[in-house]
Structure 1
Amino acid sequence: MPLEPINPVSDPRIERKTAVLNGFTYHYLYGVPPGEKLIATVFLIHGWPDLSLGWRYQIPLLLDMGFRIVAPDMMGYGGTDAPKVPPNPINLYGLKRASDDIAELARQLGAEKIILGGHDWGGFVVWRAAQWHPELISHVFSVCTPYTAPQKEYLSLEDLVKSALPQFAYQIHLASGEVEKSVNSEESVRQFLKGLYGGRGPNGEYAFDPHKGVLPENLSKIGNSKILNGKVLDYYVKEYSRHGIHSTLNWYRTRMVNWEEDLALQDKKTISIPTLFVQATYDSVLKPEMSKTMEAFLPNLTRGEVAATHWALTQKPEEVNAILRNWLKGQGFGTKSSL
């Protein structure tokens, strides 16, 4: 019997907490397994345009298995601070800062070791966090986002789109400042979210194209999404209306600073701890062929795949959960071991 996803309004399985991490306040979902069966702590890191609640189907599984759960809203999202850039530096939205904030939250919670899971941008974060804080991270899993090694030479987003990854052109649009001009009210946020999560217009109109970005001319036409609707959609609209869309898009403005900070990781390209990568077969951006070389850097890699689009966590939750459960059990969790 599938586990009930976390209810966004009220759910006894989780608490909503805040913590000041390196000077900024984060909101996070916190859950402790029932009874005395805590075996480890799992941090779950979301991407764009998502929230900590994006893990609503995985949190119950992990709690049931005996894991303590920590799922933060990342910088610029939901109940977490959204510092303006400028005057603040853009690296507040970078991979190193996210890694450092995860490490600080783990320290405050008394977790000497954590398992780290990510999706979308969160997947990129967890790979880097394992490199920035190897003493903290015992296991890493990523859904959809393949591992990419730190690069010695800088490649601009424009050059990347012209060469290996034309489907990343949407990132140029997201970083441009244009999206905020059309997604700037509660109603437009609602239409935007419905569209990004697969909603279509009456004639098949869509709101997002990997080669173009957000399509503002179609937003008003978008109908309901099958995977983000009802009270969950209402929650997302409320949370995205706190700061507006701009701060979440700062993550797409960090390519240069991420590369600069990655230079310190040139001798840490290999991640030797146990890792899991769950590929979404029909992801139109993070395509399966992008993960071909991962074994060269991840000697302890396990692979899984689900027949889903980018939103595998909520589109095929039972399949994702089965892969995650089997991998964790294969790593010895579910016994009386503890971290």
Structure 2
Amino acid sequence: MSVAPSSPVDATNIDLQKTLQGVIDNLPAIEAHHAAVSKPTAPEHEVSSFNHKYATLNGYKYHYVEEGDPNNETLILIHGFPDLWYGWRYQIRHLVKQGYHVIAVDNLGYGETDHPRCDDGNYDPYRTKNLASNLIALADHLNLEKAVWIGHDWGANVVLKLGLFYPERCLAVINIGVPYAQPQAEYLSPFAVAEVFPQFKYFAVFQTKEPETWFNGDGNMFSTALISSIYAHGTGTSIQEKQYYIDRFSHTTLHGGINYYRATFLNYQDELPYVGKPYTVPVLQVAVEKDPILTPEFWAVHKFDTLVNLEEAKIPEGGHNVHTENAEGTNKVLTEYLAKMFGKKDQQQQEQTKVKEE
């Protein structure tokens, strides 16, 4: 009999350190529960089943996965925190079957990509403009003039701002879960945001050096606590897949991922020339209605009047990691938008039509 976990990360619990300590304290019960409800990883979703590649981009080694015919339309998938290229495993296989060329990247500071340290407080490597520049270098490496850029969580922010800085390299941008934040003339600090939306207190805490001291600086324990708190409580991630995350973050630590949060003032400075300017790249914004962090109330405070070509979609089921928790719903939204963009029929529709004709 499984024991239900007792310490999930809860958006209403704003003391992240205390919550993560609770995960470690209850880890045997959490792991037992996850083992009881976990489904074995399908062979086509095993890490080793994907085509792994590497490239040096602006001086950094990047790891990415490439699947599908390079002659087809290219989709580049960018993950968030604390995620990896592997978070897109359900989308990669599905989109390749739809006839697309799919790239899924380990962001800077994650996985097998380089993870520069910023102990001196200089977070320049992680400012969004530089991250976008690295991804443009990846497109150059792949001889791609343009691509559809798809992002989730921090990855959504990166692809949205890539469209701001490099519109000529974008066929479209799809942001999942995170609303477009227009460039602002005045800086709104994470501390101010946390005052209005307490679920973002962790964002403010990540501005400090404090997280690096949690668990006496034990990166493995921090990774075990954070990854278990997320993937052992949701659906769509097996115990084997969860362990892959823990192993990768234990090796790299979470320092790189947290630095994305620390570069917000640099991002504000980079975006000042774009205040009030139209955003010309076609955008599909995907809201996750039951996301406990990026809630409908948070979405409601954002304005999208500068988005010239905006389409919106909603995914009613699934939490913050909707691409794994509700892969079918996520794939449906992506398939419909991309099919309309490229004039394609859904592969399943094609097969059904073929059967009827026969």
Report the TM-score, using the length of structure 1 for normalisation.
0.82
Q: Tell me which residue corresponds to 1:249.
A: 258
2:348 is matched with which residue? none
> Which residue number in structure 2 is paired with residue 195 of structure 1?
229
Q: SS of the residue aligned with 1:277?
A: strand
Once the two structures are TM-superposed, the CA of residue 133 in structure 1 deviates from its matched residue by 0.5
Segments of structure 2 that go 5 or more residues without pairing to the other structure are 1-41, 346-358
* Correspondence for 1:26: 62
**In 2, are the aligned partners of 1:43 and 1:71 still within 8 Å (CA)?**
yes
The residue that corresponds to 2:323 in the other structure is: 313
Structure 2: distance between partners of 1:26 and 1:114: 18
Root mean square deviation, CA, Å: 2.1
d(CA) in 2 for partners of 1:151 and 1:6? Answer: 44
- 1:159 deviates by 1.9
Runs of 4+ aligned residues of structure 1 deviating over 6 Å after TM superposition are none
The alpha carbon displacement at 1:99 in A equals 0.7
Aligned to 1:239: 248
Contact 1:271 1:297 in 2 (8 A): yes
Question: Structure 1 residue 80: deviation in Å?
Answer: 0.7
Matches within 5 A, 1:156-167: 156-163=189-196, 165-167=197-199
AA at the equivalent of 2:283: T
Larger radius of gyration: 2
**For the structure 1 residues 230 and 161, does the alpha-carbon distance in structure 2 shift closer, same or farther, using more than 3 Å as the test?**
closer
**Secondary structure of the structure 1 residue equivalent to 2:112:** coil
CA contact 1:273–1:300 (8 Å) conserved in 2: yes
CA distance in 1, matches of 2:343, 2:63: 28
Counterpart check, 1:10 vs 2:36 = no
Is 1:288 matched up with 2:296? yes
The residue that corresponds to 1:99 in the other structure is 132
Give yes or no for contact 1:184–1:245 (8 Å, CA) kept in 2: no
Per-residue deviation at 1:333? 4.3
1:101-133 per-residue CA deviation (whole Å, 9 max, x = no partner) reads 110100110000110000000011111000110
Deviations 1:110-165 (A, max 9, x none): 000110000000011111000110110111101101101011111222122224x3
Cα distance, 1:155–1:88 mapped onto 2, change above 3 Å = closer
Q: Deviations over 1:276-302 (max 9, x none)?
A: 111111112211233345541223222
Q: 1:329 aligned to 2:329?
A: no
- Identity value in percent: 31
Q: Matches of 1:116 and 1:9 in 2, distance apart?
A: 22
